[in-house]
Structure 1
C-alpha cells in the first residue's frame, strides 16, 4: 500500500537500521544475494529473501545451499537467526530495505537485458510504502536507476528523498576468493538525493566494513563498469599477446611472470580460453550500448571484446592442429574438457568459456566429455545444453581420450597424473610450464 506521511522518513529509517530493527529484503538469492542475506541475518536483522525459483527457496528454507562455497551450516544459522525465503513478492511491504540482486545478462544481440530488474521492481511497486529504501546492486549502464527505477518507485506519489529512498550500490562478490568476504570488500554507494545517500550509507555501513560514497547513482553505476572494463581490456591485450607470442615460439606465461617482477607500472594479467563469470564478459557491452545514445563509439572496449570472444575458437584451432599432426580428425575424436566452471575452484558456470569450447567441439563432430570436481552434473543453462556428468579422472580414463583440453585450472586436478597419461593436452591456462611432447599451449 502506498500513501503519504508528510515530512521526512530519514531519521526514523536510519534509527531502525542502526538499531537492527529494520527488515532487510533481498531479491535474487544467487551468488550475490545469498551472501548478503547471510551477512545481515547473522548481524541480527530480520531477513526476507525473495526468488522466483521455488525449488531454490525451498532448499534455503530447509537449510541447504545450492552454492558450493556457502556451507549448509551457514544457511541453517541464518535461518535460526530469523532468515526466511519466499516466492511471494507481496511480502515486500514487510521490508524496510529492498535490495535487488537479480541478473542483468545480454540478449542475443549483445544488448542489455534489464527484464529481471524491471520485472522485480514492477512486482514490488504495489507494495512500496513510506519509510523504505530501494537499492539496486545489479550491474548495469549509467542512468538505469534514474531512468528505470525512479519513475516506478515514485509512481504512487511517494516523495523521493523524504518518504522513500533510492540507492545504487554495485555488487563486488568474487565467488571462491578466500581472501575477501562480503563485509571486507569496500562498498560503493550512490544515492539519488543526499538523503538517499545518507540512508544508503547507513544501510550498508552496518554490514560492510568500509563504505565508499559517490555523488550520484550514475557515478556508482559507472564505477562498477570501469572496474570490469579495466579487467576485460587488459585480458584482451594479454590474449592478443598470447597469439603473437605463440606464433613467434615464445611462452607468454614465462614473459608475464618475468614482467611481473617489475615493482611498479605493471600488473600481471593472464590469458585463457575466453572470459567467464557474470561481469567481465557482459559489463563492457552495457557501456558500449549506452555510449551510442551520446553519439560515441567505444572502439577500444569493443576491440577487446572481439579478441576475448574469439578465444574459444582459438583453443579449438589448437585441438584441430594437434590432431592433424597425429593424423587424426576432430570428427569422431574423443575429447575431454577439464574444468567447466568459469574460474578455478568454484562451481559457478555463468558465461563459462569452457562451455563454448565444448559446443564448438561437439558441432565439429567430436565426442565430448568433461571432468570438473565442482560440477558433478552439467547444470541447466539458458543457452547451453549437455546431457553429461563429470568423468572420474583415472590413468585409464585419461589415456582413453584423443585430446585433453584444460580450460579451468582447478586445484583438485592431479596434473602430474594427467600429464603422464594424456595423449595430448591443450593447456589454455599455463598450468604446464615445463615443455613436453604431449603439451600444447593454447
Structure 2
C-alpha cells in the first residue's frame, strides 16, 4: 500500500516525526531493519526509552501508522525522511555513520523519480551533499536535484517536554537546489507552524552543530562555576537565580552530574575522511567535553568528602542513587552520568543501590544494582543519598527530612535542606 511518508529509522529521532505526521493525517509508514522494534511497535508496545507511551503508539496505529521491515515498501512513498542514529563512535570523537550508510543504501535500491528525500540525523556539514547524495545516486541511477529532491533538516525534539511539541518547533530546511528546498518546505509545512529556509544543506547541517555545541559549552561553563563557587563557599544556585533576572545577554544554564542524552557534541574537525578536515579543532567544544566529562568524577569526590566530613568512609558506606536516567520523567538511559558515578563509587567500595520510577532494572559493569522498593525506607537507611535526576515524583523536602546525608546535584531541594553541587 503506498504511503505519503516513510520515516526510516524508528528511534528517538524517527518516532516523534512519525507521531507528528500521523497526527497531521499524513499516511505514514515507519521502516526499521530491526525486526524486534517493528514487532513491538506493531503490537502497540512503547519504546524502551519511554519517548512515547503505549497510549500514543496505539493512537498512531489507530490513525493508520504502519511499521515495517520490508524495504520494498520504500519504493512507493512520496517523501522519505532518514532518521538513522549517528552516535559517537568508539573513539568518542567521530560520529558513527554506519546506520546512515546502511539505510541510505536500502532506500537507494528502491528510490524512484520525484521522491523527496530528507535527512534529519545529526551529521557533519557536507554529509548530505557528499556521502548521502553519492550513495543515493549510485544505488538508484537517479540524479539528486534533477530526478529527486534532496534536503537536510536538523532534528529538533525535546523528549518529555510539555511545552515544546513538534508542531510548534520551527523546522530549518536546506535543499540541494531551490526546488529541493521548496519540496521539503511543502512537506514540513503540513506538520509544523513555521519553516525556516537555509541557503543550502551545509548551512542546515551547521545549525545542528551550533545548537548542540551551544548547549554543551554553556553547561560546561556553569559546571566550572560550580567548582569555583563551592571552593569559595558561594551558593551557585542563588547566583544563577539572580543572574537570570537580567533581561538581555544571559540565558540560564544549571550544573549537573554530567551531560547525557542523544545530542552529542560535534567537532567538524573529526571527520570520517581526512580530506575534509579543517586542520584545527573547535577548541571551545573540546574544552566543553573535557569539563563535562569530569563531572561524574567530581560528584564522586563530593560524595567521599561529604561522608568523610561526617566521620564515614566511602568503603562500606550505603549509597543510594536517585534517578539514573539522562532526563527527568523519561526512561531513557542514553549517556546518563549515573553509570560512571555508580561505577566509581563501587570501585571505592560503596554498597550501591538505586531508585528510579522509570527504571526497574539497572546494571553497572554488567552487575545488577539493587533497586529500592520502598523509597523513604531506603533513603532513611542509606549513609548517603545522591539525587542525580529530578523526577517530578520526588518530594525533595520530604526526602531531605528522611535522609542521613543528601547530595543534590540538581539544585532541586529547598535551600539548606541538602548539600548542593
**Fold match by TM threshold 0.5:** yes
Match among 312, 318, 328 for residue 302 of structure 2: 318
Q: Identify if the C-alpha distance between structure 1 residues 244 and 392 changes in structure 2 by more than 3 Å, giving closer, same or farther.
A: same
TM alignment of 1:98-109, pairs within 5 A: 98-109=80-91
- Bigger drift between 141-150 and 35-44 goes to 35-44
What is the Cα deviation at residue 301 of structure 1?
A: 1.7
Q: Identify if the C-alpha distance between structure 1 residues 395 and 42 changes in structure 2 by more than 3 Å, giving closer, same or farther.
A: closer
TM alignment of 1:130-149, pairs within 5 A: 130-149=113-132
Tell me what 1:370 maps to: 354
Equivalent position SS for 2:81: strand
Equivalent position SS for 1:336: strand
Tell me what 2:112 maps to: 129
Tell me what 2:324 maps to: 340
Gaps of 5+ in 2: none
User: Do 2:269 and 2:278's aligned partners in 1 also have CA atoms closer than 8 Å?
Assistant: no
Segments ≥4 residues shifted beyond 6 Å: none
Match among 389, 397, 401 for residue 416 of structure 1: 397
User: Do 2:3 and 2:76's aligned partners in 1 also have CA atoms closer than 8 Å?
Assistant: no
Tell me what 1:158 maps to: 142
Tell me what 2:16 maps to: 35
Tell me what 1:233 maps to: 217
Q: Identify if the C-alpha distance between structure 1 residues 418 and 199 changes in structure 2 by more than 3 Å, giving closer, same or farther.
A: same
Pairing 1:196–2:151 present: no
What is the Cα deviation at residue 370 of structure 1?
A: 1.2
1:367-402, CA deviations, whole angstroms, 9 ceiling, x for partnerless residues? 2221111222338xxx96452464234332212212
1:290-329, CA deviations, whole angstroms, 9 ceiling, x for partnerless residues? 4981222321221111111100100000011122223332
Match among 60, 67, 70 for residue 88 of structure 1: 70
TM alignment of 1:219-298, pairs within 5 A: 219-279=203-263, 282-285=264-267, 287-290=268-271, 293-298=277-282
Q: Identify if the C-alpha distance between structure 1 residues 389 and 183 changes in structure 2 by more than 3 Å, giving closer, same or farther.
A: farther
Tell me what 1:78 maps to: 60
Q: Identify if the C-alpha distance between structure 1 residues 71 and 297 changes in structure 2 by more than 3 Å, giving closer, same or farther.
A: closer
TM alignment of 1:342-421, pairs within 5 A: 342-378=326-362, 385-388=366-369, 390-421=371-402
Q: Aligned pair count?
A: 414
User: Do 2:352 and 2:370's aligned partners in 1 also have CA atoms closer than 8 Å?
Assistant: no
Tell me what 1:11 maps to: none
Equivalent position SS for 1:96: strand
- Distance in 2 between residues matched to 1:162 and 1:144, nearest whole Å: 19
Tell me what 1:212 maps to: 196
Measured on the aligned residues, the alpha-carbon RMSD in Å equals 2.0
Equivalent position SS for 2:15: helix
Tell me what 1:7 maps to: none
User: Do 1:232 and 1:284's aligned partners in 2 also have CA atoms closer than 8 Å?
Assistant: no
User: Do 1:288 and 1:301's aligned partners in 2 also have CA atoms closer than 8 Å?
Assistant: no
Equivalent position SS for 1:154: helix
Pairing 1:307–2:288 present: no
What is the Cα deviation at residue 344 of structure 1?
A: 1.5
- Bigger drift between 139-148 and 312-321 goes to 139-148
1:39-67, CA deviations, whole angstroms, 9 ceiling, x for partnerless residues? 22232222111123322211211222225
What is the Cα deviation at residue 177 of structure 1?
A: 0.8
Equivalent position SS for 1:92: helix
1:196-220, CA deviations, whole angstroms, 9 ceiling, x for partnerless residues? 1111111111111110110111100
Q: Identify if the C-alpha distance between structure 1 residues 259 and 226 changes in structure 2 by more than 3 Å, giving closer, same or farther.
A: same
- Distance in 1 between residues matched to 2:147 and 2:367, nearest whole Å: 50
- Distance in 2 between residues matched to 1:69 and 1:115, nearest whole Å: 23
User: Do 1:168 and 1:220's aligned partners in 2 also have CA atoms closer than 8 Å?
Assistant: yes
- Distance in 2 between residues matched to 1:142 and 1:222, nearest whole Å: 6
What is the Cα deviation at residue 433 of structure 1?
A: 4.1
Equivalent position SS for 1:277: coil
User: Do 1:26 and 1:49's aligned partners in 2 also have CA atoms closer than 8 Å?
Assistant: yes
User: Do 1:190 and 1:216's aligned partners in 2 also have CA atoms closer than 8 Å?
Assistant: yes
- Distance in 1 between residues matched to 2:348 and 2:97, nearest whole Å: 34
Equivalent position SS for 1:224: helix
- Distance in 2 between residues matched to 1:331 and 1:405, nearest whole Å: 16
1:13-34, CA deviations, whole angstroms, 9 ceiling, x for partnerless residues? xxxxxxxx85211112122211
- Distance in 1 between residues matched to 2:396 and 2:145, nearest whole Å: 57
